[in-house]
Amino acid sequence: MLTQRLILTGDELDDAPLIEQAAAIIRAGGLVAFPTETVYGLGADALNAEAVRRIYLAKERPAWDPLIVHVDTPEAIYRYTRNQPPVTERLILAFTPGPLTLVLPKREAISDVVTAGRDTVAIRIPSHPVARALIRSSGTPIAAPSANKFGRPSPTNADHVLHDLNGAIEAVLDAGQTPMGVESTVVDLTTQPPTLLRPGGVSKEALESVLGEVRLLSAPLESGEALPAPGLSLRHYAPHARLLLCAPTPEAFYGATKDALSRYAFVGAMRPDGWRTPTEPRLRVFEWGAWGDWEQLANRLFLGLRTLEKQQTHAIVCPLPPEEGLARALHDRLTRAAQD
Ligand code: TXA
Ligand code: MG
């Protein structure tokens, strides 16, 4: 199969003919990768079980790991879910459209293929104009996991998508780099208090300002364990190079890089602005951004990991952000990517 790259530029993000072309593929049961404000998604018609099955094949995603359904309106959230607790409406008002995914009991229209057999469905309203235009034009909810091969870093531009999925999907809508760069926050509203299943673009602190209390899924689950957050298997988001995390100080980072150079032939470094690295031709440096500017660092995290891996590094050294605010999502992704 030839994967078409449908390029949307600058002010023409709502280029109607290209969006319509992609929507026609979705309606016909095909696969289209598309940008959201977080990362690129790999979309199929959520009401077409056969089409959704193809997502798992293209991604090589295990059948036990359910997908997120993307819709365009709060009404659609209510249409495909049931028994919504009262906080649902307040969360929708506060955070959507945007990077918040709600886990709620599903209605019948959503097939078991989407939810991997569960009776809950993860659903969100993305804010990216291309994602919204695609959902509207398709006239159907769109099931979409991140558009990477299973276990790999999520794609934040169309090159990443094609690197993993070229030839396996019909098209990618290319609107450049995604603005946030880490996936949505996933919160399970079927527990009391709600459970934060995956930290992401909406911080735990922001959720607490609406929900009062939020339960944390603390220890990462064993690889392949199916409950209660199936996609949170231990090793995930990982580049092919080995990821070495260090304490977030310039001194620890310098020492960890030097140490890695003594053990690996080619080493990558995710370097914060103004931090030092040893002078050494075997070292490849990715200029990550200003330490503490979590938005910028989130935006460039997966880009950096994929860039350094392409430069044939055997190990990548990276300082570990703290577990607070948006940095919590970075901490989570990096810890998982560093697992054996
Ligand atoms: O930002 C995002 O959320 C991106 C964009 C494309 O929307 N999507 C994304 O999808 O990251 P994915 O499949 O890579 O991650 C979805 C996570 C997985 O960990 C999955 O296991 C979990 O949500 N999930 C999906 N349905 C669930 C359910 N019914 N109950 C619990 N967790 C669920
Ligand atoms: Mg994913």
Q: What are phi and psi of 271, to 5 degrees?
A: -100, 120
8 Å CB contact between 3 and 170? yes
Question: 186 CB less than 6 Å from ligand 1?
Answer: yes
| Cβ neighbours around 273 below 10 Å, total | 12
- CA nearest ligand 1 atom 10, residue: 145
d(CA 172, CA 155): 12
Domains, the chain, ranges and CATH?
4-216 (3.90.870.10), 242-337 (3.40.50.11030)
Closest atom of ligand 1 to 126 CA is 7
d(CA 154, CA 238): 9
Residue 57 Cα to ligand 2 midpoint, Å, equals 14
Reference 282, options 246, 247, 257; nearest CA is 257
Dihedral angle of Cα 287, 293, 294, 300, to the nearest 10 degrees: -30
Q: What is the DSSP string of 101-162?
A: EEEEEBPTTS-HHHHTT-SEEEEE----HHHHHHHHHHTS-EE--BSS-TTSPPPSSHHHHH
d(CA 68, CA 146): 9
Residue 200 Cα to ligand 2 midpoint, Å, equals 12
- CA nearest ligand 1 atom 31, residue: 229
Closest atom of ligand 1 to 228 CA is 31
According to DSSP, residue 80 is labeled H
Residues in CB range of 104: below 8 A, 6 or more apart:
77, 81, 82, 83, 84, 88, 120, 121, 123, 189, 190
Question: 36 CB less than 6 Å from ligand 1?
Answer: yes
Residue the block writes with tokens 């209605």? 107
Q: Tell me: the pLDDT tens digits for 185-204?
A: 999 999 999 999 999 999 99
pLDDT for position 221: 47
Decide: residue 167, CB within 10 A, 0-12 exposed, 13-18 middle, 19+ buried.
exposed
Question: 130 CB less than 6 Å from ligand 1?
Answer: no
Residue 152 Cα to ligand 2 midpoint, Å, equals 8
Task: Give the DSSP H/E element, type plus range, for residue 309.
Answer: helix 294-310
Residues whose beta carbons lie less than 5 angstroms from ion ligand 2: 146
Residue the block writes with tokens 């990821």? 243
Residues in CB range of 10: below 8 A, 6 or more apart:
none
Specify the pTM. 0.95
DSSP-derived 3-state class of residue 269: strand
| Cβ neighbours around 136 below 10 Å, total | 12
Residue 24 Cα to ligand 1 midpoint, Å, equals 25
Reference 280, options 264, 263, 261; nearest CA is 261
pLDDT for position 217: 81
**Which parts of the chain sit beneath pLDDT 70?**
218-234
Dihedral angle of Cα 183, 185, 190, 191, to the nearest 10 degrees: 130
The maximal CA–CA distance of the chain, rounded, in angstroms, is 60
